[in-house]
Structure 1
Amino acid sequence: MYRTVFLRISFFCFLFSLLACADNDKTERLPYYNSPDFTPIFLKTDDEANRKITHQIANFSCIDQHGNIITQKDIIGKVHVASFIFTSCGSICPIITKNMKLLQNEFKNDKNVVMLSYSVTPWIDDVERLKVYAQVNKINAANWHLLTGKKYDIYKLARQSYFAEEDLGFTKDSTQFLHTEHILLVDKNRKIRGIYNGTLELEADQLIKDIKTLEKE
């Protein structure tokens, strides 16, 4: 009798553990974002995402603070984070950079994570200016690239690929200045998986957790 009761209890404990694991897997998988309004889309598998999520970060080519050409080849198969700043900004950019440094501290030696900070005044922020900005702000991780290039290319990439804008779902004309506190999280397949307020340390902490979640997928 006691043995039967014990076996039943063991069986239900095992079943509960399986269900709990399934629930954890479900809740830990980050949503996808397929449009500028950032409506979250929750999917269970990569195959399902490949069928239903059509949006990806487009190909690009920029130059970083070391004079190196950075393209989509540098992010394929890796989780990457994108922010948009300019070196002469005296408002939100220093705060965004400060919070991005939390990511630097966490993922500095992680070859599966890349941090990209695009300049929104690339006609001013040349390689030398970005290099000085990196030195002043102690940006020293090999996987953190401060990027410059042609304004049209960066603005098109920012607005059409990353959906980076101050007002979600609203796409301004490419001639209008781009200034946003949003930081975007992109997975190994160049699909957007998160959006965060770069001026809030709490959001940066959540971003760190979400990066680790993506690395496990």
Structure 2
Amino acid sequence: MYRIVFLIISSALLLSCNNSNKDSINLPYYNEPTFTPVFITDEAEIATKITHKIEDFKFLNQDSVFVSNKNIEGKIHIANFIFTTCGSICPNMTRNLKVVNDSLGNDSQIVFLSYSVTPWIDKPHVLKKYKNEYGIESKNWHFLTGNKSEIYKLARQSYFAEEDIGFSKDGSEFLHTEHFLLIDKNKRIRGIYNGTLLLEMYQLIDDIRTLEQENFD
């Protein structure tokens, strides 16, 4: 609930800024699992205060090719967590993320990472079938599988996928979240979205375009 209230308030503020000065629009940083927004524009201050980044990783994708942190170097990426046998939120999440992917025209500087939370089931060939079933042709959208504990640790401690509640969960507890995470070119969290809501996908598209205009190294 607190996140929804924040999004409403921040959206109003951003719209106000947009009317007065388009160049003043900046996305917040999220440096901790409570998802408290931090608004900073000074590059030196960002370097010292925003310390949280996505940790290194290496997993197999749907084509049995290793995808790692090297694949997202200098690129914006969007992460989410699904499983192919999910009959509740995952199909809707995948369809909604496809809307985002399709709207960006296969931009090679934007990467989509869909991590399986049931990797013991979702082997590469299963993920490939899943990707094909949803008509996803993008080469920049990887469905990833690998060691369960490594995926869960990355999800909870790097992406804060279940917000502050997930961060404190035991690693063996099942991971199931509707959140999409927007990560900038320096692997810093810049947005969190409800992947079941199409309206939030339009906000995600706008935020990706905002990030593309940033020039921080």
TM interval, short-chain normalised = 0.7 to 0.9
Moved beyond 3 Å, runs of 4+:
19-23
Question: Does 2:62 correspond to 1:69?
Answer: no
Q: Structure 2 residue aligned with 1:140, among 119, 137, 140?
A: 137
Q: Which amino acid aligns with 1:51?
A: T
The alpha carbon displacement at 1:84 in A equals 0.3
Question: Does 2:187 correspond to 1:211?
Answer: no
122 and 43 in structure 1: CA distance in 2 versus 1, 3 angstrom threshold:
same
Question: Does 2:164 correspond to 1:169?
Answer: yes
Measure, in 2, the Cα distance between the counterparts of 1:34 and 1:175.
24
Gaps of 5+ in 1: 1-18
Query: Cα deviation per residue 1:105-131 (whole Å; 9 max; x = unaligned)?
Result: 022421110000000000100000001
Measure, in 2, the Cα distance between the counterparts of 1:46 and 1:90.
44
Within 5 Å, give how 1:5-154 maps onto structure 2.
Answer: 23-26=21-24, 28-154=25-151
Query: Cα deviation per residue 1:39-89 (whole Å; 9 max; x = unaligned)?
Result: 000001333211110000000001111111000000010000000000000
Matched position secondary structure for 1:70: strand
State the percentage of identical aligned residues: 55
Q: Which amino acid aligns with 1:177?
A: F
Q: TM-score, normalised by structure 2?
A: 0.87
Q: TM-score, normalised by structure 1?
A: 0.87
Aligned 8 A contact 1:32 1:53 in 2:
yes
Aligned 8 A contact 1:164 1:180 in 2:
yes
Q: Structure 2 residue aligned with 1:197, among 194, 199, 206?
A: 194
Structure with max Cα Rg:
1
Count of aligned pairs: 196
Query: Cα deviation per residue 1:134-166 (whole Å; 9 max; x = unaligned)?
Result: 11111110100000010011000000000011x
Matched position secondary structure for 1:169: helix
Matched position secondary structure for 2:70: helix
Q: Which amino acid aligns with 2:27?
A: L
Query: Cα deviation per residue 1:3-56 (whole Å; 9 max; x = unaligned)?
Result: xxxxxxxxxxxxxxxx98984322x21000000010000001333211110000
- Of stretches 87-96 and 44-53 in structure 1, the one that deviates more from structure 2 is 44-53
Matched position secondary structure for 1:100: helix
Aligned 8 A contact 1:33 1:192 in 2:
yes
Measure, in 1, the Cα distance between the counterparts of 2:43 and 2:20.
16
